[in-house]
Structure 1
């Protein structure tokens, strides 16, 4: 009996290790935590070492069976996140199967600079981009140099059209309303044979989107969504200038869902002012009590 239990344990561990998974590489808004110029007690805790710094929001998709690794977004913390990915996968190579970009705000694409001749000097890394994002990279330096030197190989994406990554994983971009100074903005729906994972790190108010977030959550196994700010008044400027949905608004929108559905929701992309960044705040405890989850850097989500 003991031998059978040991076999089952080993089998289940092997099966888990071979399943595709998401690795959370960062959870903060574009400026990171602590943020440049921030001297509040919240940031000083990080500057002075009482809290660890946290990376800008990014995910890795990992297939341990094929040893393929993809990134969603290339952040200013790219070099640290690449190392985190290498450590997690026990694969010291710098090889990436591709990078998927959500949009052209600084926290989501500027890490591409590390692929250039001044750093990695990468060769033909596939970078998946929507049409305006592709045009922006091809026609503006220094990004255009990455294209001309073949550090990156841009792969066009089309709204709501799936891209097959391998026999077990596909990914589909879908446009969402968000400030479009340089490019459109997309979220992603990642599918495996077993799970559906939705990722929306940046969006304007939910009411501006043609889809109902309740339906999006119900149709997914996991939904990582924009939680830049917890509530109005969080920063000393008109918050209409940065019209992300407040966590308080999102919880109100989803309050009629049963707790089993709310547990699918992971908040991410936190501004340095957001109390959800830190453990044991009243706001974080209230969010968890309602069944929602808070994304954690280094977290693994099995697909």
Structure 2
């Protein structure tokens, strides 16, 4: 099994186009690494690849990956795309894949319904791109030799579907994690998650790798930095630090590798020299970076 982190940033990436915070300015100046928006590619055999989520930055991400280059005049090693939610930073890149290239598009019925309601996504010709509904907790073959299982994690509906009241701990088809297995290895990809309940700790225990939601270091960091009016909890993301954060919640869970992904531009973890980064690394975590390859 081989995994490539195509994008390690949250929505907007790093630097975000309209943000002049310390991290964004440092990324513009080359003092810390830039991050494109969230997504991974995965293969069990090195030939047939699946994308998990399709960010607005997908074109440049594909161009940067040697594994995903066309092998002939027209074609692609991408056999399928799997979506974990309907957020813009996870689905907008589908429009990049509208060039008449066949692949399977996997998602839950709830996420497919969101896509179907957007007329722009009709550019993905249904005679070429097959949309396949997935039931939760039912294993399926994502690419040759690679099995996947979707399972609900605490989350919320996409921002553009929010009403007056928002349930940020919603459990259902709107936000899912993915369990991936191939060649005796087991990996979890959970880029969006609002809390870490006990059943989730039990499910991921013993995995060869966990790629987990690292959006915010602290729940109120965007408020404190003057970058927004929402807490991480309100956005449907568990914070890394704090008594209910993922750092403590997952500290004693046995995992061969643990990697934070989907990092917001406000998060001090994006700065390799920050004390927060040192604390995470001391606890056994890596911070995902664009182009990072993982062979569990």
> TM-score of the superposition, structure 2-length normalised?
0.84
| Number of aligned residues | 271
| Mapping 1:96-115, distance limit 5 Å | 96-115=78-97
Structure 2 unaligned residues grouped into runs of 5+: 162-172, 224-228
1: distance between equivalents of 2:152 and 2:278? 32
Check if 1:68 corresponds to 2:45.
Answer: no
Q: 5 Å matches for 1:10-29?
A: 20-29=1-10
Q: Which has the higher helix share?
A: 1
- After TM superposition, list the pairs within 5 Å mapping 1:113-124 onto structure 2: 113-116=95-98, 121-124=99-102
* Aligned 1:96-245 pairs, distance under 5 A: 96-116=78-98, 121-147=99-125, 150=127, 152-165=129-142, 168-181=145-158, 182=161, 184-207=174-197, 211-236=198-223, 237-239=229-231, 240-245=233-238
User: Is 1:125–1:153's contact at 8 Å kept on the other side of the alignment?
Assistant: yes
Deviations 1:271-291 (A, max 9, x none): 001111121210011111122
Decide which moves more: 173-182 or 264-273. 173-182
In structure 2, distance between residues paired with 1:291 and 1:219? 15
Task: Name the residue aligned to 2:26.
Answer: 45
Moved more, 292-301 or 128-137: 292-301
Contact kept in structure 2, 1:262 and 1:291, CA below 8 Å: no
For residues 95 and 166 of structure 1, do their structure 2 counterparts lie closer, same or farther at Cα, with a shift above 3 Å needed? closer
CA distance in 2, matches of 1:48, 1:283: 21
**Corresponding position of 1:57:** 38
Q: 1:36 to 1:168 in 2, by over 3 A?
A: same
Secondary structure of 2:279's match? Answer: helix
CA distance in 2 between partners of 1:46 and 1:126 (Å): 35
Runs of 4+ that moved beyond 6 A: none
Whose Rg is larger? Answer: 1
Q: Give the match's secondary structure for 1:36.
A: coil
Gaps of 5+ in 1: 1-19
Query: What CA distance in whole angstroms lies between the structure 2 residues aligned with 1:195 and 1:135?
Result: 32
Correspondent of 1:35 among 7, 12, 16: 16
> So what's the TM-score if we normalise by structure 1?
0.82
1:287 aligns to 2:280 (yes or no): yes
